[in-house]
Every structure is written in C-alpha cells, then in structure tokens.
C-alpha cells in the first residue's frame, strides 16, 4: 500500500520533518510513500525529497522517480 503525502506549499524544512514523521508512524503494511511535491513553482521541494542526504531513515529502501515530475515514491520496509 502506498500512502500519499502532499507537501505543496510547505517550506523545505517543514516538508522534511513531516515526511520523516509519516515514515516513523507508517505501519508494516505500508510499502511506500508517494510524495507529492510539485515542480512548476520551483524545484526546492523536489530536490530535497530526492536528495538522500535530506530525508534520512533506515526504512527507506529506494527512491523511485515516475513519469510525473511532481511526485517521488519512497519505498520503505
């Protein structure tokens, strides 16, 4: 199961903290998070989500980029 996490309109630090909190609270049935960050009004959120040094968690297995430039999938275990 994928959880949708929409971080539109958030500051980078706020979005990172929110995503990390969701990862911590995600149950074992959650296979990944679909991070909806957008891309038209700037790439700061997109870059932060895709940067392995920004969002750190031992649960993140892989970052997957889709054909939709406004989202990134974080696969977790």
Q: Which domain holds residue 63?
A: 2-76
Torsion of CA 64, 67, 71, 77, to 10 degrees: -20
* CA gap 73, 77 in Å, rounded: 13
What is each CA distance from 46 to 19, 27, 77, in whole angstroms?
A: 13, 25, 22
Q: What is the CATH number of the domain that holds 36?
A: 3.30.1370.110
pLDDT band at 41 (very low <50, low <70, confident <90, very high): confident
Count of structural domains, the chain? 1
pLDDT band at 25 (very low <50, low <70, confident <90, very high): very high
Q: pTM for the complete prediction?
A: 0.90
* CA gap 66, 3 in Å, rounded: 15
């Amino acid at each position: 199961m994928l959880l949708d996490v929409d971080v539109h309109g958030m500051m980078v630090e706020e979005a990172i903290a929110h995503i990390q909190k969701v990862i911590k609270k995600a149950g074992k049935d959650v296979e990944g998070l679909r991070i909806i960050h957008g891309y038209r009004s700037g790439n700061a959120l997109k870059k932060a989500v895709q940067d392995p040094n920004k969002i750190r968690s031992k649960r993140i297995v892989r970052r997957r980029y889709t054909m939709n430039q406004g989202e990134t999938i974080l696969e977790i275990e």
